[in-house]
């Protein structure tokens, strides 16, 4: 199901740009064999938001280049091979590739384009019914692009370029140099500990947005949530401008994910954050003055350090998922759930007593020990079952006590979604024929046609908001209901007249469950062949 784009102000807020090259305090940028567009956005509907990039060859000889488009799960969805002559520039508008299917070396077929768009926008692919990414905004493709000299032989350090995210309707554009991700480069933009400022007030009333990119690659999944173990754990330590702590929070992001500082719920509008990632990452930051201007900077790679004094960190997982953000893994009613609480002494003082609890009173957390030396970790567990459908959230808390009674604590939330047994089925017929495969029944041109759409709630829960449509805009469907109980059916109809030649149209039904609001859908094609009858023979000549 698609919706209209949000208002411009919100669109600008969600227009996440990774517009930074190598972190600060590094040498001047130099050409590389491995470059990155760390995050792109392209609206699939309309002609507005898109991402542009260009790459040039500074070598004295031609260089082969492979350009790959990846989802925000790191999955390669497009591979384009080009050869750049000396000083040649390849300029790309990703709208041409992702929306129109026009590549430098070929044009995508309709089925390939449908798969690409679904895979980049967090929808189920029509090719294999799998998910390849996490959705951000409905109808928006997101991901990243790698540009590399192929492996083997000499790999000249000759590529350089830039990229821009543009919103023409608002006269908005912002860009930066492509990120160097060659690990032998002196300009490598990857590390595990980053520092950056945040501005959430004053002239920058649009706030601060971050993008976190890693090279982690996941596998396609039958479920829309991140696959097991797919999240990149991002630990954010926040400070005001005087260096006083504003708290610590862990966030789970996809391999190419975004985070707004407002999600952290900080009490101060200005300050800085230290971000630690469990994977080497590039982090970009964008400051926005809403509807006026924006400024992109770059994070600085910091040396990891242990906090002075006592410190504790808890990292909670649900069945192995670092599900800090909803919805988390999808679990069926009655499924077993194991929560793990990895507790680490991140300070420089030992703890003589460590207590781990959960805000779900039905859970008992068990830990293997009660004391932790600096740098030491332990894993505690709690078990239960999925007892109710819909969204579930619980919060774990770890408390550590030093020998002189000083207490420190940390919390971490986790989520899962209790799946409803929800499904819906559409069976479409043309003049009574279940013509899923062409050519379908032969119908005389101009004769009446009746299409029937039998919708059945095949799940175990009631659905509402039932909407049936057809991809032929000339057809007007008539349905009798918008809600169906489990096992209940209804028949919708549409009428028209046969046109000449082969014809195909596709009916679609969407609905949502009455309890959790889970969307269900199905579609079914139908065909006919419009036959033009030969004209009647001329009358015989008079005798």
397, 419, 441: which is the final residue of a domain? 419
Over residues 303-308, the mean pLDDT reads 63
CATH of the domain at 348: 2.60.40.10
Phi, psi dihedral angles at 441 (to 5 degrees)? -65, 150
Query: Same domain for 324 and 212?
Result: no
pLDDT > 70: what percent of the chain? 91
Residue 51 has pLDDT above 70, yes or no: yes
Residue 25 has pLDDT above 60, yes or no: no
Query: Same domain for 440 and 351?
Result: no
User: Is the CB of residue 144 less than 8 Å from the CB of residue 281?
Assistant: no
For position 12, what pLDDT does the model report? Answer: 31
pLDDT > 90: what percent of the chain? 50
Query: Same domain for 292 and 401?
Result: no
Query: Same domain for 384 and 517?
Result: no
Query: Same domain for 444 and 526?
Result: yes
Which two tokens mark 182?
């060659």
User: Is the CB of residue 401 less than 8 Å from the CB of residue 409?
Assistant: no
Query: Using CA atoms, how far apart are residues 264 and 214, in angstroms rounded to an integer?
Result: 21
258, 279, 301: which is the final residue of a domain? 301
Regarding beta strands 50-57 and 256-260, do their DSSP bridges make them parallel or antiparallel, or are they unpaired? unpaired
Confidence band, pLDDT 50/70/90 cuts, at residue 248: confident
* Structural domains counted in the chain: 3
Q: Is residue 543 part of a domain?
A: no
Contacts 24+ apart (CB under 8 A), 93-101: 93/50, 93/51, 93/52, 94/40, 94/42, 94/50, 94/51, 94/52, 94/53, 94/69, 94/141, 94/145, 95/42, 95/47, 95/50, 97/69, 98/42, 98/44, 98/69, 98/141, 99/42, 99/44
Domain range for 372 is 312-419
Query: Same domain for 322 and 363?
Result: yes
Query: Same domain for 436 and 287?
Result: no
pLDDT, tens digit, for every residue of 461-520?
A: 999 999 999 999 999 999 999 999 999 999 999 999 999 999 999 999 999 998 888 889
Q: Is residue 307 part of a domain?
A: no
Reference 334, options 458, 459, 418, 223; nearest CA is 418
Query: Same domain for 499 and 443?
Result: yes
User: Is the CB of residue 529 less than 8 Å from the CB of residue 443?
Assistant: yes
Reference 66, options 149, 132, 7; nearest CA is 149
For position 152, what pLDDT does the model report? Answer: 67
Q: Is residue 542 part of a domain?
A: no
Burial of 222 (0-12, 13-18, 19+ CB in 10 A): exposed
Residue 540 has pLDDT above 70, yes or no: yes
Q: Is residue 379 part of a domain?
A: yes
373, 402, 419: which is the final residue of a domain? 419
Confidence band, pLDDT 50/70/90 cuts, at residue 383: very high
Query: Same domain for 353 and 400?
Result: yes
Query: Same domain for 471 and 328?
Result: no
pLDDT, tens digit, for every residue of 491-508?
A: 999 999 999 999 999 999
- Do you find a cis peptide bond into 439, omega within 30 degrees of 0? yes
């Amino acid at each position: 199901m698609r919706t209209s784009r949000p208002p411009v102000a919100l669109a600008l807020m969600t227009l996440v740009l990774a517009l930074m090259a190598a972190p600060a305090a590094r040498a001047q940028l130099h050409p590389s064999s491995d470059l990155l567009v760390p995050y792109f956005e392209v609206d699939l509907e309309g002609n507005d938001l898109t991402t542009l990039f260009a790459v040039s060859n500074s070598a004295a000889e031609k260089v082969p280049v492979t350009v790959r488009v990846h989802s925000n799960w790191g999955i390669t969805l497009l591979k384009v091979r080009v050869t750049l002559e000396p000083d040649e520039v390849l300029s790309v508008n990703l709208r041409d590739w992702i929306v129109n299917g026009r590549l430098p070396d070929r044009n995508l077929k309709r089925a390939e384009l449908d798969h690409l768009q679904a895979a980049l926008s967090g929808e189920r692919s029509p090719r294999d019914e799998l998910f390849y990414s996490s959705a951000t905004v409905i109808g928006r493709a997101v991901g990243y692009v790698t540009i590399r000299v192929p492996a083997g032989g000499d790999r000249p350090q000759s590529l350089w370029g830039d990229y821009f995210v543009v919103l023409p309707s608002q006269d908005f554009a912002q860009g930066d140099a492509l990120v160097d991700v060659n690990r032998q480069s002196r300009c490598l933009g990857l590390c595990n500990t980053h520092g950056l400022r945040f501005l959430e007030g004053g002239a920058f009333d649009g706030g601060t947005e971050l993008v976190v990119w890693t090279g982690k690659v996941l596998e396609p999944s039958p479920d829309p949530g991140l696959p097991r173990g797919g999240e990149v754990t991002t630990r954010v330590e926040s400070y005001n401008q005087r260096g006083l702590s504003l708290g610590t929070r862990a966030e789970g992001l996809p391999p190419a994910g975004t985070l707004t500082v407002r999600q952290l719920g900080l009490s101060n509008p200005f300050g800085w954050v230290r971000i630690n990632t469990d994977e080497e990452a590039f982090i970009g930051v964008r400051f926005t003055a809403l509807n006026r201007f924006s400024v992109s900077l770059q994070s600085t790679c910091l040396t990891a350090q242990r906090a002075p004094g006592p410190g504790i960190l808890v990292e909670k997982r649900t069945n192995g998922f670092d599900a800090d953000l909803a919805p988390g893994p999808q679990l069926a009613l009655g499924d077993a759930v194991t929560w793990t609480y990895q507790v680490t002494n991140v300070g420089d003082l030992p703890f003589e007593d460590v207590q781990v609890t959960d805000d779900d009173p039905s859970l008992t957390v068990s830990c293997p020990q009660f004391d932790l030396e600096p740098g030491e970790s332990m894993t505690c567990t709690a078990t239960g079952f999925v007892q109710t459908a819909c969204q579930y959230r619980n919060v774990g808390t770890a408390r550590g006590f030093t020998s002189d009674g000083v207490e420190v604590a940390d919390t971490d939330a986790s989520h899962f979604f209790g799946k409803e047994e929800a499904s819906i089925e559409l069976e479409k017929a043309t003049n009574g024929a279940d013509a899923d495969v062409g050519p379908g029944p032969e119908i005389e041109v101009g004769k009446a046609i009746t299409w029937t759409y039998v919708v059945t709630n095949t799940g175990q829960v009631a659905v509402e908001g039932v909407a049936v449509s057809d991809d032929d805009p000339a057809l007007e469907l008539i349905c009798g209901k918008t809600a169906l109980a489990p096992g209940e059916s209804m028949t919708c109809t549409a009428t028209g007249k046969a046109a000449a030649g082969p014809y195909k149209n596709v009916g679609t039904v969407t609905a949502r469950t009455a309890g959790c609001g889970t969307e269900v859908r199905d579609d079914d094609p139908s065909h006919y062949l419009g036959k033009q009858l030969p004209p009647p023979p001329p009358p015989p000549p008079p005798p």
